[in-house]
Amino acid sequence: MAAPAFLASWIKAQRLKAPRMKDAPTFYRNLEEALDVRRTDHAMVTRTQSTWKTGEAIDFCSNDLLSLGSTGRLRTEFLEELARNPDFPLYAGGSRLMDGNYDYIEKVEQEIAEFHGTETALILNSGYEANGAIYTAIPRPGDAIVYDELVHASTHDGMAHSLALCKMPFRHNDVDSFRDILASIVDSQPLIKDGSRSVLISVESIYSMDGDICPIEELIEVAKEVCTKGNAVFIVDEAHATGIIGPNGAGLICELGLQNEIAIRLHTFGKALASSGAVILGNQTVRLALMNFARSVIYTTAPSFPAVAAIRSAYNLLRSGATQEYQEKIQHLVKHFLTTITSNEVWDEANDMGILSIPVSDNWEFRDFVTHIVPVWTRQRYNFWLVFHLQLSNISAFPIDYPVVPKGQSRIRLMFHAANTEADVELLASSICEWAKEMIAIEKGGDSKSKIPKAAQQIYAMMADV
């Protein structure tokens, strides 16, 4: 589906449906009324296929960060791995606690643990299930959880079913706020103050909607100062650092040499590793607690051999250093984009007027590394207009809206990939600035004949024909 038709079809799906269902069964009408709330906010999710998948657009949105999927590199390694195990079963046979355990998955888990510098690893079917397992199985009654306000939805869902009754957020990446919250918990919770219960601190190494990096070293120092009994432990979600940051893509914690400071780490395989599933890293006690208390481990079928073989294939590439050049390519492309867009003649004015903002561009030259996630901010009512412009420029990018981000904080999240080129990045930057220039003219009044940019006019016109 070409970009204009793709967009027009998506917009049509946002039209309210419940008012036209007066004679429909109550059950379905009530569901549509709930869906209409999403449609009202233009947040209705539909079954679509991104235009980059059909070769009609450049991918700046998918999770195939190292491009192991799109280039076929992982497929080749995967088929070789299967060839080395020709009699592999297609099924697991049950839960890990019963008939679903097998030698191959145990071997791969040990390889992963050694790669990340920890004692044990436990593979689960998804990152969502893994976070659920952590927060339902690990906190004990009387423990407290302190978490960054922007942790993933799966972490929130896990915490909602946690045995820890005290759960308090701190402002995103704000070390002072973290200190205040941690100190308040120590002061108000006698069992934590005397060291008989623990504080579990939940953060992400790279935040998925903002692209910024956790100040983990500073947080660790504060935790040691405030929790003098040594009962503060860290849980770090490395989903977006896996394969991207650290030696051979081992993650931020390995990059900083903090393996012994972190109790639990989560790495996922559905992003840079182009597979599926996740792994929880920790010592033997953590692994046993997960296997005995985590419902998403106990009451589900274990990952199958082919799924684990795909994971192993990805780690084979990481371990061999084959993906190092892809990591470096992403670093280069993001830096090239930030340099290109901030040096455009439109940038300063668009930034000053609030039409265009890229928070991660501030002082990026002084950082040791950048991330693959670059959110672009504009006025909230302009988000879709910018997306329309990019899609019509054959650039696949999407807005991130509530409930994924808080209301009033929608943005376009750009994802950079190893297979992108400098020319792709330059087109992206010039397209954004071209749109910003048009919006500057509209806001200033000038000779603009419409208050709606050309790309949006084109899409709105197509809607009538869809």
pLDDT in tens, 148-179: 999 999 999 999 999 999 999 999 999 999 99
What per-residue confidence (pLDDT) applies to 124?
98
pLDDT at residue 46 is higher than 80: no
Pairing label, strands 411-415, 398-400: antiparallel
Measured CA to CA, the distance from residue 414 to residue 361 in angstroms comes to 13
* 400 neighbors 42 (Cβ within 8 angstroms): no
**1, pLDDT greater than 50:** no
Please state whether the peptide bond connecting residue 4 to the residue before it is cis, i.e. omega within 30 degrees of 0. no
99-103, 145-149, 417-421: least confidently modelled range: 99-103
Q: What is the pLDDT of residue 11?
A: 76
Specify whether the CB–CB gap between 209 and 403 falls below 8 A: no
pLDDT of 446 reads: 61
Dihedral angle over CA of 445, 451, 454, 458, nearest 10: -160
Question: What pLDDT does residue 466 have?
Answer: 54
Give CA–CA dist 107/348, Å, rounded: 54
Mean pLDDT of the chain: 94
Determine the pLDDT at residue 269: 98
pLDDT for 398: 87
For residue 142, is it left (φ>0), alpha (ψ between -120 and 50) or beta? Answer: left
pLDDT tens digit sequence for 64-93: 999 999 999 999 999 999 999 999 999 999
Sequence-separated (6 or more) residues with CB below 8 Å from residue 378: 354, 355, 356, 357, 386, 411, 412, 439
Q: Answer positive or negative: Cα dihedral of 337, 340, 343, 346.
A: negative
* CA 142 from centre of chain: 31
Residues 360-379: what's their mean pLDDT? Answer: 94
Number of Cβ within 10 Å of residue 216's Cβ equals 21
Q: What secondary structure letter does DSSP report for 24? A: S
Residue that wins the pLDDT comparison between 53 and 378 = 378
Helix (H, G, I), strand (E, B) or coil at 446: coil
Average pLDDT over every residue of 428-454: 88
In contact, 164 and 144? CB cutoff 8 Å: yes
Q: Residue 264: enclosing H or E segment and its boundaries?
A: strand 264-268
The CA distance from 410 to 403, in Å, is: 10
Average pLDDT over residues 230-250: 98
Residue 400 CB-half CA count within 13 A: 19
In the chain, pLDDT over 90 holds for what percent of residues?
A: 81
pLDDT of residue 3: 64
Size (the chain), residues: 466
Q: How many secondary structure helices (H) and strands (E) does the chain include?
A: 18, 12
Question: What pLDDT does 52 receive?
Answer: 80
18 token code pair: 């419940």
- Entry pTM: 0.94
Smallest CA-to-CA distance from 307 within 273, 276, 269, 278 is with 276
Looking at residues 18-23, what average pLDDT do you find? 89
Distance CA 427, CA 107 (A): 45
288: pLDDT strictly greater than 60: yes
Q: Is the pLDDT of residue 32 over 70?
A: yes
**pLDDT recorded at residue 111:** 98
- Confirm if 134 and 235 have CB atoms less than 8 A apart: yes
pLDDT band per the 50, 70, 90 thresholds, residue 12: confident
* Distance, CA of 173 to CA of 345 (rounded, Å): 32
pLDDT in tens, 370-429: 999 999 999 999 998 999 999 999 999 988 988 889 889 999 999 999 999 999 999 999
Q: Write out the DSSP string of 388-399.
A: HHHHHTTEE-EE
> What average pLDDT does this structure show over 311-324?
98
Q: Report H helices in 51-189.
A: 73-83, 103-116, 127-137, 153-160, 175-188
Task: Pick the range with the lowest mean pLDDT from 209-223, 265-279, 343-357, 441-455.
Answer: 441-455
Return the percentage of the chain with pLDDT > 70, whole number: 97
Those residues whose C-beta lies under 8 Å from the C-beta of residue 31, and which sit 6 or more positions away, are none
pLDDT over threshold 80, residue 140: yes
Instruction: Report the DSSP pairing between strands 278-282 and 264-268.
Output: antiparallel
Q: Is a pLDDT exceeding 60 seen at residue 263? A: yes
- Predicted local confidence at residue 9, as pLDDT: 74
**Mean pLDDT of the region 225-251:** 97
Measured CA to CA, the distance from residue 181 to residue 185 in angstroms comes to: 6
User: Worst-scoring range by mean pLDDT, 96-100, 194-198, 206-210, 342-346?
Assistant: 96-100
